């Protein structure tokens, strides 16, 4: 029997690469049974037709209505309730959550609540609701397999180690398009410059997160929850070539690294086939051709977002949710030309100051914290636009 997959965010960067991985797999191994996107209904319908999928969800109600008119071979579910129904009723074995932003939390919870295994690209789910999400997976017995390249590397490295032998996790960061720049040089950078990532081709939001280094801050929080490692034992090092995806440091002084060319089809394939491995058409790693792999410390003064993420992580409670929501608002404003690059960090810092952390008791309290933080961050963005 093939493994039945639901692919959420199928029209995005990860979603499209996941469908590429599936198209190369043996149909006896993987079968897509459900797809979802926010609003790009033509693309989803085209994917559904090509794959013989009978159920899709579009969270935008207008897009869902149009898809329903244009595509009569299957069922179109609408809105965020429709997305939850897609997950709970599609009788799949594995859900790939490749939605961007905290909108991915509800589908993560729906998946794990059903006891379904989750291939998780949506790191924001863990940033916002890490404790509750991990507890839910534990309670229902669902497995979370990370898709983020660093965390996929760590999952592979940690799999072979006995409990208690791992002292440190080290996440590598490319440094993004602005590595080596001073704050003064970052004052007038454009959206196009910020989107031009040196080693990875990704969606808009994560590309900006990589330019500010917020992406690495989110990933430190993601690693803490996935692998239960205290924050003091999670390091970040800049590695511009993006060949070493992460390292673990062991109690006997050995360090183990995971290497490969930067291509998200590798961690996607790992997550979709886990615990099996299958061929992915990637050239063998040629270290002699690469010549040198280099490493340098993070410039935390210029790239303040990493420190803000670490501080929110230490504060705990609603702070990581507030950090994430403010970041989403600020990045959106930057992409729309309404906020300067350096003001992304400033808006997040001020939002965290205005909304001190409170304990999290339920997913509802996270929803409230997310709404409050978005309102404060939007007000700060508007204030800066007027100034
Ligand atoms: P993207 O913007 O290219 O695609 C996002 C997908 O989510 C689209 O299909 C979109 O229709 C859907 N979507 C957007 N908003 C939604 C909403 N409110 N409700 C439901 N669906 C919605 O994003 P991406 O680059 O593919 O990233 C997806 C996730 O994977 C992010 O969390 C990102 O951090 C993570 N990730 C991406 C990469 C990468 O190489 N792109 C690498 C590591 C991790
Ligand atoms: Mg990553």
Near ion ligand 2, which residues have CB within 5 Å? 148-150
Closest ligand 1 atom, CA of 9? 9
Rounded Cα gap, residues 141 and 138, in angstroms = 5
pLDDT at 221: 98
pLDDT of residue 235: 98
Cα 8 to middle of ligand 1, angstroms: 9
Given this model, what pLDDT does residue 58 score?
98
pLDDT of residue 386: 76
Closest ligand by atom to 106 CA: 1
Could you give the strand order of the β-sheet that contains 255-259, starting from the edge strand earlier in sequence? 234-238, 166-173, 244-250, 255-259
Under 8 Å between Cβ of 217 and 151: no
CA pseudo-torsion sign 200, 19, 117, 103:
positive
Task: Give the separation between CA 72 and CA 44, rounded to whole angstroms.
Answer: 13
List, in sequence order, every residue forming a beta bridge with 76; answer none if it has no partner: 56
Instruction: Provide the pLDDT for residue 199.
Output: 86
- Position 353 scores a pLDDT of 98
Distance CA 75, CA 90 (A): 11
Instruction: Show the low-confidence residues of the chain (pLDDT under 50).
Output: none
Q: How far is the CA of 270 from the centre of ligand 2 (A)?
A: 15
Q: Whose atoms come closest to the Cα of 267: which ligand?
A: 1
List ligand 1's pocket residues with C-beta within 6 A. 9-15, 37-38, 40, 59, 98-101, 103, 121-124, 148, 200, 202-206, 264
């Amino acid at each position: 029997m093939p493994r039945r997959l639901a692919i959420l965010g199928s029209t995005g960067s990860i979603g499209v690469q996941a469908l590429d991985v599936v198209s190369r797999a043996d149909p006896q191994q993987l079968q897509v049974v459900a797809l979802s996107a926010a609003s790009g209904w033509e693309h989803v319908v085209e994917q559904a037709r090509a794959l013989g999928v009978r159920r899709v969800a579009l969270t935008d109600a207008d897009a869902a209505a149009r898809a329903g008119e244009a595509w009569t071979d299957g069922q179109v579910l609408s809105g965020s309730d429709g997305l939850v129904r897609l997950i709970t009723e599609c009788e799949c074995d594995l859900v790939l959550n490749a939605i961007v932003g905290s909108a991915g939390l509800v589908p993560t919870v729906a998946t794990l609540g059903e006891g379904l295994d989750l291939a998780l690209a949506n790191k924001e789910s863990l940033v916002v609701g890490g404790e509750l999400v991990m507890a839910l997976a534990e309670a229902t017995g669902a497995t979370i397999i990370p898709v983020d390249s660093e965390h996929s590397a760590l999952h592979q490295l940690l799999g072979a180690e006995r409990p208690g032998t791992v002292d440190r996790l080290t996440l590598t960061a490319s440094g993004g398009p602005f590595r080596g720049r001073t704050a003064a040089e970052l004052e007038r950078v454009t959206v196009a410059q910020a989107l031009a990532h040196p080693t990875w081709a990704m969606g808009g939001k994560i590309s900006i997160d990589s330019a500010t280094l917020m992406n690495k801050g989110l990933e430190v929080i993601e690693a803490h929850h996935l692998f239960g490692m205290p924050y003091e034992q999670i390091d970040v090092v800049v590695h511009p070539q993006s060949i070493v995806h992460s390292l673990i440091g062991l109690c006997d002084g050995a360090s183990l690294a995971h290497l490969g060319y930067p291509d998200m089809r590798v961690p996607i394939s790992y997550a979709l086939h886990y615990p099996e491995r299958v061929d992915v058409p990637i050239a063998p790693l040629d270290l002699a051709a690469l010549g040198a792999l280099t490493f340098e410390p993070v410039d935390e003064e210029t790239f303040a977002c990493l420190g803000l993420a670490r501080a929110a992580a230490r504060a705990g409670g609603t702070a990581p949710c507030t950090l994430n929501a403010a970041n989403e608002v600020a990045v959106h404003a930057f992409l729309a030309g309404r906020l300067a690059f350096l003001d992304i960090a400033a808006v997040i810092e001020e939002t965290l100051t205005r909304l001190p952390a409170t304990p999290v008791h339920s997913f509802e309290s996270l929803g409230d914290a997310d709404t409050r933080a978005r309102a404060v961050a939007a007000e700060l963005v508007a204030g800066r636009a007027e100034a």
